[in-house]
Structure 1
Amino acid sequence: MRLCSLFLSLITLSANVFAQPANWNDLRQQANGQTVYFNAWGGDPAVNSYLDWAGVQVKEHYGITLKMVRLADAAEAVKRILNESAAGRKTSGSVDLLWVNGENFHALKRAGLLAEDWAETLPNWRYVDVQKPVREDFSQPVDGAEAPWGSAQLMLIGDKQRSTSFPRSAEALLTFAKEHPGKVSYPRPPDFTGTAFIEQLLIVLTDDPQALRQPPDPATFDKVTAPLWRYLDQLHPYLWRAGKAFPPTPARMDRMLADSELLLSVTFNPAHVDNLIARHQLPATARAFGFERGMLGNVHFVAIPANAKSKAAAMVVANFLMSPAAQIRKADPAVWGDPTILDAKLLPAPLNHQLAEHVPDSLEPVPFLAEPHAAWVAAIEKAWLTRYGSR
């Protein structure tokens, strides 16, 4: 009852702080009674539990039935949407709301298969932190075709009890590895976090960062990436197993850090360290940290296909996912620990304080660095595997 009362007070307060668009009530009336087929990655129990909770809330408060379609990869839903378009299915599509970003978003947007110009019309957009990359996805304009609902940032993990100071730059990381040979590594690309780590190094090392905003140009690729390969050639001999093998996943690195096999791990969730501490998998002296210039960050979005059957209800669900109530619950490490996309300064004091309570104690905030254009992912992975994959 206490949680229910808290949720109701959050909903009421957030609804009254800012005036809503004139057509919002009409949209809510259209949404009432609709079913939203929400296609989302289903690989994490905490995420699944959170979205089950969201389904209960939108049913209770908006009369919307949320049907979760749990995916191993968003590409499954993208392929279905593309096939429906090829078959001429312009309405009543099988997907109403899709957790999507990066390459899959670009594929659908280029094909004209997403509803556009709706995200910033939602009432809860007023709370969004526009200093985060909420208007672009892998360097491509969103154009209102996606609504943000969470953020992530690449971070390194260390233990203050075992490391008197943490490396705050690529150059300092190289020095740290030389001082502690065999105690540093990163996940083997194409692991998502491993590739993100390579992108992070490329961003801070390249002499031409603007080139990363566009797809790789074969004519300049070698020049743009040369500082990265020079750096890795220097770094690898000092890594775990002399850079001839790499941990397969960040989870494996977490265990190696806990066992003192490594001094650093890596994560794409700044709250991850608090989760590990709470589960007694890392000591309370563990910390998430990053480079002073910033760390690669991104935002995860939900999109509405152009042929969605329940567009009104999908918009209401997207608005709910951006609400202070939903964001506060999602940010709680005991629930999920997914960082918010809201600007706490825009919230009234009670909500501001609720959100602040879920900022991870172990986190040392660093600036966001925007991701390169999506096409760099495949290009970087291929080049890395060519150079280091067979060693």
Structure 2
Amino acid sequence: MAVAGPILFHLIRRSTRQRKEFSSLMFLKPTPPRVTRKSRLEDLWLLLLRCLVIAALAFGFARPFLRDNTATTGPDKRVVLLIDNSASMQRAGLWPKALDEAKATLEGLGKKTEFTVALYNDATKQITGFSQSTNQPPNELAKTALADLKNAKPGWAATHLDDALAAARDWLGEAEGRGGATPKRDEIILITDLQRGSRQQNLVGMDWPESGPRVIIRTIAPNTAGNAGLQLVRKRGTALDPFAPPRVRVVNDAQSIQSNFQLGWQRAGETNLANAATLTVPPGDSWALTAPKMPDQNSTWQLVLAGDTQPFDNRLHLAPLEPEQFRIHIFTSEPKNDTATLRYYLKRAFLERSLQKFELFFHAPDVGAIALDDPRDRLVVITDPLNAPTTAAIR
């Protein structure tokens, strides 16, 4: 538009005619004036020079807004691929389907797409990072990631979906400073079974950028629908009874075809349930209850929910309760069986309990150097004055 200005002014400009003095015109023969076209351009070199000056000024002011796309080395898009490897992914057919979906996703990425692959359960672990994407060709990096995924397997941990999304958001934010893709084109791809019970409450207060990234969920369905799970609500033991059974919750999936289950105790390697209780939990419902009483406290038992077609989350492992041991050192010169002395009552004060065992050691006040470096040495009782070596030893 600016270049059109000199052309417009050049066309409407009128040439100034010079005035000349002349004698009388009465002897001249009148002739009609010659008509010339006003659109005829004059002084073409001057017009061209003016246009070039305007164009150079316009180009100079436009340089900050012009970018050389060939000089941009950043990616067109960044992708975080999150793959669920929590305990629910141990259901039949889920993990192979997740690997196939991951392979298809990585193969479908563009050549200028920078990506990272991570596994998540109760913790999120990167397999490949964005920095590796810039140093290796995308196809080679995808092959490396798929090889690492084939060696990985689902574990027994819970699903913390909120932590995984927060980690992916932070990775994209750190990579944004290297240039290239804008947040609107960044993506977080979730490959998961969306098992009921995954932790999502931290998503409510999460600071998520308004401009992105976009979250894409690719749900993997198991071969057999439905699942019942056993969750610990309260650990065993109370203030009155340290061996009280725990409180648990049985959750039955809405698509489950089972509603009748048995809850009981089982030793490792055995199949029979001890102290089993029958319970009915309709599909889509949950039931909190106190577990049956443990058969004994000296063995390692597992609380088992029987009757579910997906047994991956039907066991709670409870270690036996070990009593805490205390060593009490008493420095006294009082006689053993004198009912009027403190020693007599101290010996009867520390009685064994279900989860506490006491061992009493009596020493003479002048015993001298004595080692009190055992972790079980919890208390020292002194009834008589000590000599200097004994005092220095117990400090």
Q: TM range, normalised to the smaller chain?
A: under 0.3
* TM-score normalised to structure 2 length: 0.24
Higher percent of residues as helix: 1
Higher RCO (Cα < 8 Å, 6 or more apart): 1
Larger radius of gyration: 2
